């Protein structure tokens, strides 16, 4: 969209959205039964003509495909509404269901949410246990809505150190991830027991293990290889990160992935986040998309140049050590051919290593999911119940 059109639309949009944002989350126009609401937002309806108009206009420009949310403000919302903290977190999870529906309508196919940080374990025992129980309930609800997951073709992934979660939470989380693993249309990444520092440290350990096992060489390790070891190694590039509550910091969330992303800090508590804030976020993305896209393209070109220089240096070292030819391939006379062969060998090593890392995590998830199933079957057998 042209800059002049964006200015005109912004003016109209701000007038409409300002009037609607003032509407209370619990007001007359927000009649959604949060107790019965689907985790995937099946009952959220925004089919009025002005919503459809806004969606069509926004979709005429670049729309982020992967958006991350720092869902901040649940506790402050609870205090503001004079309700228990646990109820504030429930409202936050219900808001997530609505937000997923809005994202799908706008063409956002991957969403990552910061549900529980490793730092959150430092909160009171009562609050941590309440959050774990809430997570268990929501993932259990997802399992009950398996047909809905299949209908929308939603893939659920959990990002973080799952081993830090209670065993009963691990089981329902693993089962939800396992049953949706082959879905492709939309992706929901739930960050549980996650921080970026932990993710980067874990990636470094994976790289060290890869070298030790002989899957990759130490000279193969680059930023790209480190990214392949992240919990998000199956995700597309992060386009936009949204944080609510007015805080202007990332709180150890997606620090690496957000390096070339549009950041949007919204001065509203998460349970009060509305579809109008979502529209404003996409408009904000469109205003800043080109500059960040250009910077990312420059970064990619620079990485390609550095990789070519590294390949040439490594090849020359191999040639010097082997008397003129590499040990892995027959000798060739053309240096360019040798360089292409070295690149092909490196790419093959890196692909094998990436699959090794992914398989480790997938097998871990599968083992937990299958062990739960075996426990259920064992219990049924011991009580004389036969599952067909």
pLDDT at 325: 53
| Mean pLDDT of all residues in 342-361 | 96
User: Where are the chain's structural domains?
Assistant: 3-224+233-302, 307-382
Between 8 and 322, where is the model more confident? 322
Q: What is the mean pLDDT of the chain?
A: 86
Between 90 and 384, where is the model more confident? 90
Residues 6+ positions from 253 with CB-CB distance below 8 Å? 68, 70, 114, 117, 191, 194, 195, 196, 241
CA–CA distance, 168 with 152 (Å, rounded to integer): 27
pLDDT at 71: 97
| Mean pLDDT of all residues in 234-246 | 97
How sure is the predictor about 167, in pLDDT bands with cuts at 50, 70 and 90?
very high
Between 48 and 232, where is the model more confident? 232
Q: Which residue has the tokens 């060998």?
A: 345
As to burial, measured by CB atoms within 10 angstroms (0-12 exposed, 13-18 middle, 19+ buried), residue 207 is buried
Are 46 and 100 in contact by the 8 Å Cβ rule? The answer is no
How sure is the predictor about 145, in pLDDT bands with cuts at 50, 70 and 90?
confident
pLDDT at 335: 87
Looking at domain 3-224+233-302, its CATH class is alpha beta
pLDDT at 27: 41
Residue ranges with strand state E in 104-254? 110-117, 154-159, 186-194, 240-243
Model confidence over 251-268: pLDDT tens digits? 999 999 999 999 999 999
Q: Which residues pair with 114 in a beta bridge?
A: 191
| Mean pLDDT of all residues in 365-387 | 63
Q: Which of 306-310, 320-324, 372-376 has the highest mean pLDDT?
A: 306-310
Between 137 and 385, where is the model more confident? 137
Residues 6+ positions from 72 with CB-CB distance below 8 Å? 243, 244, 245, 247, 251, 269, 270
How sure is the predictor about 95, in pLDDT bands with cuts at 50, 70 and 90?
very high
Describe the strand order of the beta sheet including 240-243 as a list of residue ranges: 154-159, 186-194, 110-117, 66-70, 240-243, 262-265
Residue 61 CA, chain-centre distance (Å), reads 23
Which backbone phi and psi does 194 adopt, to 5 degrees?
Answer: -125, 140
Classified as helix, coil or strand, 193 is strand
């Amino acid at each position: 969209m042209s800059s002049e059109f964006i200015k005109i639309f912004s003016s109209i949009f701000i007038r409409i959205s300002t009037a609607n944002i003032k509407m209370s989350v619990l007001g007359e126009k927000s009649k959604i039964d949060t107790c019965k609401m689907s985790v995937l937002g099946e009952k959220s309806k925004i089919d009025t003509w002005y919503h459809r108009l806004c969606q069509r206009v926004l979709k005429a420009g670049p729309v982020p495909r992967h958006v991350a949310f720092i869902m901040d403000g649940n506790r402050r919302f609870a205090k503001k509404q004079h309700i228990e903290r646990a109820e504030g977190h429930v409202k936050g999870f219900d808001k997530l269901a609505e937000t997923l529906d809005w994202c799908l309508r706008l063409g956002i196919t991957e969403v990552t949410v910061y549900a529980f940080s490793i730092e959150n374990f430092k909160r009171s025992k009562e609050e941590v246990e309440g959050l774990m129980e809430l997570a268990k309930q929501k993932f259990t609800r997802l399992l009950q809505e398996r047909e809905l997951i299949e209908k929308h073709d939603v893939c659920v992934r959990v990002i973080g150190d799952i081993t830090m979660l209670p065993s009963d939470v691990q089981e329902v989380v693993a089962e939800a991830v396992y049953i949706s693993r082959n879905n492709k249309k939309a992706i929901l990444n739930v960050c549980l027991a996650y921080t970026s520092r932990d993710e980067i440290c874990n990636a470094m350990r994976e790289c060290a293990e890869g070298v030790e096992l002989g899957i990759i060489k130490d000279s193969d390790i680059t930023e790209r290889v480190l990214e392949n070891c992240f919990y998000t190694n199956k995700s597309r590039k992060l386009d936009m990160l949204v944080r609510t509550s007015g805080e202007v910091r990332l709180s150890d969330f997606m620090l690496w992935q957000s390096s070339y992303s549009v950041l949007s800090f919204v001065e509203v508590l998460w349970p009060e986040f509305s579809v109008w804030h979502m529209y404003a976020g996409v408009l904000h993305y469109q205003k800043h998309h080109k500059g960040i896209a250009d910077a990312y393209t420059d970064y990619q070109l620079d990485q390609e140049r550095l990789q070519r220089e590294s390949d040439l240096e490594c090849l020359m070292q191999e040639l010097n050590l082997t008397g003129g030819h590499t040990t892995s391939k027959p000798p060739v006379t053309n240096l360019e051919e040798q360089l292409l062969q070295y690149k092909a060998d490196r790419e093959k090593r890196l692909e094998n290593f990436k699959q090794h890392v992914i398989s480790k995590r997938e097998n871990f998830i599968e083992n937990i999911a299958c062990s739960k199933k075996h426990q259920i079957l064992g219990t049924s057998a011991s009580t004389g119940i036969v599952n067909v």
